[in-house]
Structures are given as structure tokens and as C-alpha cells.
Amino acid sequence: MHPVLTLVAQRLALGILLLFAASALIFVGTQILPGDVAQSILGQSATPESLANLRKELGLNEPALSRYFSWLGNALQGDLGTALTNGRDIAESLGSRLGNTMFLAGTAAVISVPLAIFLGLLAVRYKDRWPDKLISAVTLTSISIPEFLIGYVLMYFISVKLGWFSSVAMINDGMSFFEKLNAIALPVMVLVMVVLAHMMRMTRAAILNVMQSAYIETAELKGLSGFQVIAKHAFPNAISPIVNVVMLNLAYLVVGVVVVEVVFVYPGMGQYLVDHVSKRDVPVVQACGLIFAAVYIGLNMLADIISILANPRLRHPK
Amino acid sequence: MSETLLKVRGLKIGATVFPPGEKPHDITIVHGVSFDLAPGKVLGLIGESGAGKSTIGLAAMGYGRGGVKITGGEVFVNGRDILKGGIKGLRELRGAEVTYVAQSAAAAFNPAKKLMEQVTEAAISHGKFSKSDAEKRAVALFAKLGLPDPENIGERYPHQVSGGQLQRVMTALALCPEPDLVVFDEPTTALDVTTQIDVLAAIKEAIRDTGVAALYITHDLAVVAQVSDHIMVLRGGNTVEYGDTDQIINAPVDDYTRALVTVRSIDHEEKSPSDNPVLQVKNITARYKGTNFDVLSDINVELHAGQTLAVVGESGSGKSTLARVITGLLPPSHGSIEFGGHTLTPDLPNRPMEDLRELQMIYQMADVAMNPRQTVGTIIGRPLELYFGLRGEEKRKRIRELLEEIEMGDGFVDRYPAELSGGQKQRVCIARCLAAKPKLIICDEVTSALDPLVADGILKLLLDLQKIEDVSYLFITHDLATVRAIADSIAVMYQGRVVRYGPKSEVLAPPFDDYTDLLLSSVPEMELGWLEKVISSRKMESAGN
């Protein structure tokens, strides 16, 4: 077998193992939360008999280990259980919301990743001159302000004062693609501003590191232009660290949009999670946790695999 | 075309330095150097590190490494002052009229791109050739430079070819755009001596056949004597001597040039083996974890008290691995090591303190072998505390004695490694070893990173100390001149085996085995026409077989 395939297979196996570990942590975490699910459903006035009945019905009297495995077994088959609060199938309610979150995160990613890399390259090209300093200052400012504040500020100026986009990012299935894009314009802007700085700075640092190499001097002594040297000779060797930070930010886009979704009343995973955490709806919290963990681990695994594939020594062994 | 291709007049080059604890200030690296180069001729620039030779070579392309700037003078290429054309003019010049061959091809190639793409890039981007013509030209150059499988080698990545091959590909890269001038910056210095001779011959032939002019930069006078028409000797950014190759080699006028020509003047009388071996390496076989071949197979050597055993070989021959086995860093899979009358524990962590004290080591890179945040006094004092429990005045006295022994005054006690020259750093490392009063010092390429004259001083010091302290050296090196200078006995290693072993006088006298013969005949000699002589005698031999 090609050594790269072995390495990739190892990463995949490790990712799956990690996902199992994460599922166990999520389960344990929700178990040690104070309070009792039956109590919180029925309220303070519940009788001991009705509490006991509900506990039995929910399977809360089973040992934790067997509950974990039955939960995990069901989750693997796509059955995430039913929400305690409204009795609806979790997988079904999550499905459309996950789609919405992915749409929002995906749009933000499609804009922010190329933009961050381009700004990073630009900053390297004009290192220590005004474009570099301007890019650094602006991105650093945007990452330093909490995203809910950016959200409200944008809402005030762009939507209230200028009236360009809607301040509430409500979307539904009846809308066309462009109507949807129009609706999510503001939250996308906020997300882009939040993730841009991190990726741009890493691109800049990774490429500057590569720029010290002897082969960059070779390229300069071939008479190539500054941007050719950076894009053709430095960037291909800086892919690995850049991909890693890009993936971390993509994961953040999916997992960390909770606050932004709430600010813009966007019907995504974040809203759904926040709603049910406040109602102590354990199966929903577990299901959301599992999906977030899968996204996180999946994207980081992808970063590892891309790093392996980007390394010519691994791709073309002697 | 004008008569002179490259005309340099009063070239001054400066840089900003940032010394520790001082304000950054400007210094001058090259103080007004002038020379001419006619089309098709080769000028050798020679000098020790810091002489400014690479800086001058790069200035011919209008390039300054790091913070280096050309501060004065004129550089004409084909009659045009390249320093007045701005960056745009320089980009038109670089990679088209003047090209560059770097010292370490392994670092100078982009690891992410195929060789062919890199070799043809300059020719294509300057519009000198179409892509297919450039590739055809590259294949022809690969063939001329003696690369295996010239049709397909361009499809490989840099890590897939050997160091010697990569250096030839780099030469092809430089010649591909049909330049008027190639700057060769120590192109064979990083290669093994047996590889160097072939690459040198290939470069010389390529220069002759393409009629390109060259600046050949090196610290090795014997190498430059083989390829250049003229030689300029540089020291501290000044021209020391500039003339015909023949004159510089055979009739040097300046004292410094004379010292370079006659370097390695050490005369060391070989001592006969005593009946008191300090070190006996017995049937040692070793391999690295996770590999399935032996890096050392069945090594047997002996070293006597107060003597020097030189272990010579090329990179990958296993000579440094042998040092790792003796020091216990790599426990052998087979065999044993007798040291001072008893068997050494194979692995380092279990060795008694006394064995650790008696077996010391000096490394090639003196600057990374010392803690940059400790003073010389602390560095030398540490083994005194560790092994002998010396404190206070007693320790200070011993440090002063040791500094005396390495011919550095006690003014150095409070200096930091960064404030020392390369040779001084290596001397401090030697003093640190001596502080432990060892029976055996393993010297791993201790002079390889030093300039010849400085290296000579270190070797003299080591020999003097051997007389005083009665210490034995296991001297690992790839440099046969060093071996001749200090060894009592020699072990020649090749592919993990000792192929020749015995007293110096026997090992270096014929009849030779094939490998030792190749090794000895590959060492460049300070003699015009040496390269042609060796190459043609090798061709005759292989024809005869």
C-alpha cells in the first residue's frame, strides 16, 4: 500500500476513536449536571409517584453504562431520540436547522477563506509597509470586539440607518437562493470579520517563515516578481499550517455561531441548542454536542489529511 | 558585446548589525573591490568565512542577503551599470543574463515543485525559450552534466535525487536560460569528496562547452585552482592578491596567500601502539530503531593511551553512529566495548558517573553545543562542580588554568559564546572536555565548520594537549588532510564497515583497496591540471577493466 494511504487511514481511524471518546464525555457531562430531568419536566409540584413513573418511562433508572450504549447505538443508526420538552423527533428538527447553520457557515467560509489568504499574501508582499499595518490593524480590531457587539453595530448602521439588509435573518424553504443570501448578509459579515484575522495572521506568519528559506532566494535570483515568488514558491510550502488554522476557523463557524444566530434570530443549530439548554432538555443537548464534536473532529481530520497530501515527501517517496 | 562582460569598480558593501547589548550600527563588509571578467572566463573568489566572497558574488546580480546593501561603486554587466536600473532592471538581469548556483542545492530547490519546472522557470519567464524548447534544453543539459536518465529526471521532486545529483541539476538550472555569467557559490562544499570530484568535472566541462563566464566562489584553494583562469584572494572585505591562477598557486606574493597555499603544515610523528589499549571496540553491530538494516556491521578497532585513532568516511558511512554507540546513545545490537580495562554498560543512563567523566565528546557545531546564556566561566566550571565538587576560589583557579591551556586568557571568563569567534568557541568546548580529566575524547568533525587556518590552530592545540594530558582521541572526520595531520592509526569506513584499518603509515601506503584508493585520489591537490589528470586516469582504468 502507498505510505500516504496508510497515513490517511491512520488519521481516519484516530478521528473515529476520538469521536467515540467525545461521545462518552458528552454523555458523562450531561449526567453529572445537577438536577433531575423528570423533576424539571414536571415542575416543583410533581408528586413522587408521577416522578417515579416518568423516570421509569425515560429509562433513567437503568445503569448509566447501558444507557450510554443504547444512546450511542441509536445515534449511530440516525436515531437521536425525542425531545423531552415537545416530544418531537430530534433528528428531524435538527436536520433543517443543521442545514441552515451549514448554509450560514458555508457562505461565511466561501468569502472569508480566500479573502484571508489573499490579505495574508498582500501583507507579506508589503511587509512592514502601510498595507501590512493597515490589514493587521483592521483585522485585529475586528477580532477584539465581541461578535454580538459587531452584530448590533452592523444592524444599527447597515440595516436601520441605511436600510440595505434586513436586521433579522429569518429564512424559510419558500425563499429562493438569492433571497436567502440577502437575508443572511449581516450575520455573514459578522462571522467573516470574526474569523478573518486569525486566518490572515497565520497565513502571513507561515509564509514569512517560508520566505527565510534558501529556495526563496533562488526564486528571487531567477528575476521573478515579488508576488510570483510569494504565490508560486512560498505559498505551496506554507499550506500545512494555513490549512490547520483554516479548518479550526471553519469548525468555529459551525460550532461558534450560537451567539450570532441568537442575535439575528436565525433558525440554526445555535438557537435550537440555546432554547433547549435553558429547558434542561438533555437528549437535545447530547445530540447537538455530538454533532458539534463530529464537525470539529471531522474538519481537523481533514486538515491533517490535506497536510499529509500537501507534503511532497510523503506523496512521492524515494 | 563589450570586451569585458563584468566590470566591477570600487564595490563597497555594508550591513546593519545588531550585536548583543549594543546599539545597532552599520558596518562595511566589502571595502572597494575592483575586477574585470571577460566573456567565457572563470574568476575564482577565495577567502575564509567573512571575507566577503559570497557577498561580492551576489552583488554581481545586484542582490544583498538579509540586511546587506551595496553602498558604493559600480557593477557593469554587458556595459550597463546594473545598480542604476532599479529593481525592474535587476529582475531583467537576474535569471537571464546572470544566474546563480547555491552552496546547498538541497535547500535551494523548492521542495514542493518538480525539478523540470524549477530548471526551466527562469528561461520561460524571461521569454528566452518556449516551454517545450526550454525543456528540451534542460534535458540536453542533464545529459551533459552526467545525470542518470536525463529524459525523466526532471519529473522528480528534489528529495528524490541525491545531493550530488541535485548540485548538477542546480547547474543545469543556472545554464538553462543561456546566461552570460554564472555565479557559483561554493557549489561542491557540501558534497562528499568522492562526489565533489565528479561534480567539479561536470561543472568545468559545462562551462567550457557553453562558453559561459563564471564567478567561482569557494574557500578551498585547491578546488578553485582546477576551474578558474584568474583568482582573487579576499580577506576581511579587501583584495589581498589578484592574478593568474598559475601565479597565485605557484608564486604567491602576499603572506596571507602563501599561508593559504601551504596550509596543513602540521607534522605529526606516528606513535607505535603500546600494550595499553584505552578503548577496544569488539564486533560492534548496530541499527536504528524501526529500521531493518545495520548501520554498523562487525566493527573492531582499538585505541591506545595518548594516541589518536582517526575514523574516516563519507556521509552515511556510519562514523558518527560509531561515536553514538561508544558514548552509549545508541546501544549496539551485538558486540561490546572495553574501556579502561572494563566492559562499558551499553546504554548511557546506566553508566556509572566515573565512566561518563572519563569519556568526553567535542562536536562539529561548537555554537550549538554551548548554552548561549551561560558565560565561558560557567560552561567550563560546570564539569568541575559535577565531577570534582569544586567550588569558589578552587574552581576559579582551575578555570583559569584551563583557559591558559587552550591559549585564551582569563579575560574570557565572563564572555558569552556569541562574543567569541568560531575557533574560540571550539577551544572553549575543548576546555570543557578537559575539565573532566577524561581518558578519551571523541572529536566528531570538530574542524569541519572552521576555516582552514583556524582549523589548523585547533589541531595543533589538540596535539599539544595530548602530550600534556596523555588523553586519547577518537577523531571522526571526512577530511583526509586532517587525518594525515594528527592520526596515529586510521580506520576507513564505508557503508557501515571498516574497510581498512591499521597504523597511519600502513593505511596511507599502497597497495590500496578500491575504496581507499578512490577516497585518497579524490582529495583535491593544490596543483594545476590535477582534475584532468585524475579523471583521465580513472577513465583509462575503467576502459582497461
Selected for mutation to probe chain A from B120, B121, B173 (highest A CB count within 10 Å) is B121
Residue from the list B65, B102, B156 with its beta carbon closest to the beta carbon of A218: B102
Is B420 a member of any domain?
yes
Partnered with residue B69 across adjacent β-strands are: B14
Domain check: are B255 and B310 in the same one? no
Domain check: are B241 and B323 in the same one? no
Domain check: are B406 and B503 in the same one? yes
Residue B235 belongs to what domain range?
A: 6-261
Domain check: are B411 and B311 in the same one? yes
Is B544 a member of any domain?
no
Which domain-ending residue is among B205, B232, B261?
B261
CB contact under 8 A, B91 and A224: yes
Nearest residue in chain B measured CA to CA from A212: B66
Is B543 a member of any domain?
no
Is B222 a member of any domain?
yes
Domain check: are B445 and B400 in the same one? yes
The pLDDT of residue B539 is 79
Helices (H) and strands (E) in chain B, counts: 20, 20
Query: Which residues does A130 contact at the CB level (< 8 Å), separation at least 6?
Result: none
C-alpha to C-alpha distance for B50 and B219, rounded to whole angstroms: 11
Contact residues of B toward A, CB < 8 A: 61, 63, 65, 90-96, 99-100, 102, 104, 107-113, 118, 121-122, 125-126, 156-157, 159-160, 173
The pLDDT of residue B491 is 94
The dihedral through the CA atoms of B139, B140, B143, B149 has a sign that is positive
The pLDDT of residue B490 is 93
Contact A220, A229 (CB under 8 A): yes
Domain check: are B492 and B376 in the same one? yes
The pLDDT of residue B454 is 84
Domain check: are B243 and B344 in the same one? no
DSSP H or E stretch at residue B474: strand B472-477
C-alpha to C-alpha distance for B181 and A145, rounded to whole angstroms: 56
* A residues 193-232 closer than 8 Å to B (CB): 213-215, 217-225, 228
C-alpha to C-alpha distance for A158 and A146, rounded to whole angstroms: 18
Phi/psi for A289 (5° steps) reads -60, -45
CB contact under 8 A, A228 and B125: yes
Is B531 a member of any domain?
no
Three-state secondary structure string covering chain A: CCHHHHHHHHHHHHHHHHHHHHHHHHHHHHHCCCCCHHHHHHCCCCCHHHHHHHHHHHCCCCCHHHHHHHHHHHHHCCCCCECCCCCCEHHHHHHHHHHHHHHHHHHHHHHHHHHHHHHHHHHHHCCCCHHHHHHHHHHHHHHHCCHHHHHHHHHHHHHHHCCCCCCCCCCCCCCCHHHHHHHCHHHHHHHHHHHHHHHHHHHHHHHHHHCCCHHHHHHHCCCCCHHHHHHHHHHHHHHHHHHHHHHHHHHHHHHCCHHHHHHCCCCCHHHHHHHHHHCCCHHHHHHHHHHHHHHHHHHHHHHHHHHHHHCHHHHCCC
The pLDDT of residue B309 is 94
Interchain contact A22–B (C-beta under 8 A): no
CATH number of the domain encompassing residue B425: 3.40.50.300
Residue B409, all three cell numbers: 586568557
Domain check: are B318 and B234 in the same one? no
- Distance of alpha carbon B482 from the chain centroid: 13
The pLDDT of residue B19 is 66
Residue B22, all three cell numbers: 549594543
Count of domains forming chain B: 2
Domain check: are B407 and B445 in the same one? yes
Domain check: are B240 and B294 in the same one? no
Fold classification of A98-281 (topology level): MetI-like fold (1.10.3720)
CB contact under 8 A, B109 and A223: no
3-state secondary structure of B396: helix
Is B270 a member of any domain?
no
The pLDDT of residue A35 is 65
The pLDDT of residue B120 is 93
Domain check: are B93 and B201 in the same one? yes
Residue from the list A215, A228, A310 with its beta carbon closest to the beta carbon of B110: A215
Q: Residue B94 carries which DSSP code?
A: B
Is B303 a member of any domain?
yes
List of chain B residues whose C-beta atoms are within 8 Å of the C-beta of residue A228: 125
List of chain B residues whose C-beta atoms are within 8 Å of the C-beta of residue A313: 111, 157, 159
Domain ranges of chain A: 98-281
List of chain A residues whose C-beta atoms are within 8 Å of the C-beta of residue B187: none
Is B514 a member of any domain?
no
Q: Name residues of chain B where pLDDT drops below 50.
A: 1-2
Q: pLDDT tens string for chain A (318 positions)?
A: 677 888 888 888 998 999 889 888 888 887 777 666 677 677 777 788 887 887 777 777 777 788 888 878 887 887 777 777 777 777 777 888 888 888 888 888 899 889 998 888 888 888 888 888 898 888 888 888 887 888 888 888 887 778 777 777 777 777 777 777 777 888 888 888 888 888 888 888 888 888 888 899 999 999 898 888 988 898 888 888 888 888 888 888 887 777 888 888 888 887 788 888 777 777 788 888 888 888 888 888 888 888 888 888 888 877
Which domain-ending residue is among B212, B233, B261?
B261
Interchain contact A312–B (C-beta under 8 A): yes
